[in-house]
Amino acid sequence: MPILCEPSAKARDLIRSIGGEVRAADSLQAVTQLLAADPAEILVVIGPDVPVPDALTFASGLRMTRPAVGVVLALDYVDVSMLTQALRAGVREVVPAGDQVALNAACRRSYEVSQRLLASAPAASVSATREGQVVTVFAAKGGCGKTTLALNLAVALAADPSSQVCLVDLDLAFGDVAISVQLDPARTIVDALPMTGHLDSTGASSLLTRYRPNLEMLLAPITPGDAEKIPPALVGELLTVLRGIFDYVVVDTPAQFSEHVLTAMDASAHHILLTTPDVPALKNLRITLDMLDLLSYPRSIRSVVLNRSDSKVGLSLDDVARVVRSPIAAHIPSSREVPISINKGTPLTLANPGHPVSQAIVRFVRERLSDKPETADARRGTRTRGRRRSA
């Protein structure tokens, strides 16, 4: 039963749209007492008559002692500065006090975040000794099937009920993850901007969109111009927090090197480099491999995947190997079922697990992504030093 803190009975009536029964408290001290008596409570709504500095101090302290409890702040007036201060303090949602629809929706979203945090609590205790893996999928040429592979990898990893998986769409300007699975994102990566520099698991969880059990998604911006607002440092901060929550964080990237992509690669335990058997894609892969060597990324964390490997386009597998000069970790066959699955909005590994394409992806996951031969910190340190030398 949520707790509503509002000294004024009149104002209390105005925002009593949380749904169901509500426990009223006329002070933050009374809220603290109610929370102490009810360890299962996960929602506190603070009304407009509570002084904002007191509300922010309360939320900041609660984030440390009861991180699963969400605080929703209803204010008579909301501006960007106030929203930024509130999110920094740990408030999950800020809504206008008179907007009952917005308040009800904010409470529902807060409940969902709390439930995710509670569900991942056992995994969080494991991550204290072993952090999750960040897996970056990259192709230097568009049209290779990168987003499709990233989606199906995430689905295959999430098929293990003991694994929590997050898919991050880092193609900030033209991300296709949401439309590929027919999701309508309420929040995207751009909503992390007010939390830059102090992002925690509660804040990161509030940005996610659930796709399936064990599989969450952090989606790309949908508004033109938002991509330019996101600094590379925020990407690094997000990935650090997410790999503390999830066993696997799969990152879909744009078809070009950028500071955002290099930040993801720095954080990654594995680089999956995708190509197809055509000259432009192979040429770009060769350049990519040379670039990664120049930046001192370890070859041991690298997997080259050949998509549409059985396409009859005049290049044999020997021709591909001669150009790439690197082992091919997986051969994914060509199939018209792949674009059909994309148009239907259901990844092929989910729609047809027995399909040869699905089996090739699952086999790759089992062979290449299950083992953790060295710590992510050791790999990340090596790569960072390499990039500094090349600067």
Predicted confidence at residue 118, as pLDDT, reads: 73
Confidence at residue 97, expressed as pLDDT on a 0 to 100 scale: 85
What CA–CA distance (Å, rounded) separates 268 from 291? 16
Other C-beta atoms within 10 Å of 24: how many?
A: 15
Q: Is the pLDDT of residue 121 over 80?
A: no
Average pLDDT for residues 57-82, to the nearest whole number? 86
| Residue 251 confidence (pLDDT) above 50 | yes
Span 127-166, pLDDT tens digits? 443 479 999 999 988 888 899 999 999 999 999 988 999 9
| Inter-CA distances, 8 with 11, 309, 367, Å | 5, 68, 62
Q: What is the pLDDT of residue 11?
A: 60
Lowest mean pLDDT among 86-90, 150-154, 296-300, 361-365: 86-90
Share the mean pLDDT of the chain.
Answer: 84
**Vertex 222 angle, CA 217 and 227, to 5°:** 95
pLDDT in tens, 13-22: 656 556 557 8
What's the CA gap between 390 and 387, in Å, rounded?
5
Beta bridge partners of 271: 136, 302
142-168 burial, b for 16+ CB within 10 Å, e for fewer?
A: eebbbbbbbbbbbbbbbbeeebbbbbb
How far CA 125 is from CA of 206, 244, 246, 253, in Å, comes to 20, 9, 11, 30
**DSSP per position, 281-321:** HHHHHHHHHHHHHHTT--GGGEEEEEETTT--SS--HHHHH
Q: How much is the average pLDDT of 250-255? A: 95
Q: DSSP characters for 327-388?
A: -EEEEE---THHHHHHHHT--HHHH-TTSHHHHHHHHHIIIIIS---S-HHHHHHHHHHHHH
Does the pLDDT value for residue 217 go beyond 60? Answer: yes
pLDDT band at 82 (very low <50, low <70, confident <90, very high): confident
The 10 Å Cβ neighbour count of residue 223 is: 9
Q: Is the pLDDT of residue 380 over 60?
A: no
Bridge partner list, 46: 5, 73
- Tokens representing residue 262 in the block: 């290099």
Mean pLDDT within 209-224: 91
Q: Which residues contact 369 (CB under 8 A, 6 or more apart)?
A: 133, 135, 153, 157, 248, 270
Residue 130 DSSP label: S
Count the helix, strand and coil residues of the chain and give each as a percent rounded to the nearest 5: 50, 15, 35
Written as one letter, the residue type at 297 is Y
| Local confidence band at 254 (pLDDT 50, 70, 90 cut-offs) | very high
pLDDT tens for 44-67 read 999 999 999 999 999 988 877 788
Residue 312's pLDDT is 65
391 pLDDT above the threshold of 60: no
Do residues 117 and 204 make contact, with C-beta atoms less than 8 angstroms apart? no
For each of the domains in the chain, give its residue range(s) and CATH number, in order of start.
Answer: 3-119 (3.40.50.2300), 131-390 (3.40.50.300)
Determine which helix (DSSP H) or strand (DSSP E) holds 216, and give its type and residue range: strand 215-218
205: Cβ–Cβ under 8 A, 6 or more apart, which residues?
113, 116, 117, 245
**Rounded CA gap, 240 and 211, in Å?**
21
Confidence of residue 123 (pLDDT cuts 50, 70, 90): very low
The top-scoring range by mean pLDDT among 60-69, 130-139, 258-267, 320-329 is: 258-267
Angle made by CA atoms 304, 218, 102, in degrees to the nearest 5: 170
Radius of gyration of the chain (CA): 23
Instruction: Output the pTM of the full model.
Output: 0.69
Token pair recorded at residue 389: 């030398």
User: How far apart are the C-alpha atoms of 104 and 368, rounded to whole Å?
Assistant: 44
pLDDT at 386 over 50: no
pLDDT of 390 higher than 50: no
Asked if 240 and 198 count as a contact pair (C-beta separation under 8 A), the reply is: no
The reported pLDDT for the residue numbered 298 is: 92
How many residues can be counted in the chain?
391
Tokens (6 digits) for 282: 């192979």
Residues 6+ apart with CB under 8 A from 151: 167, 177, 180, 181, 252, 347
Q: What count of other Cβ atoms lies within 10 Å of the Cβ of residue 345?
A: 12
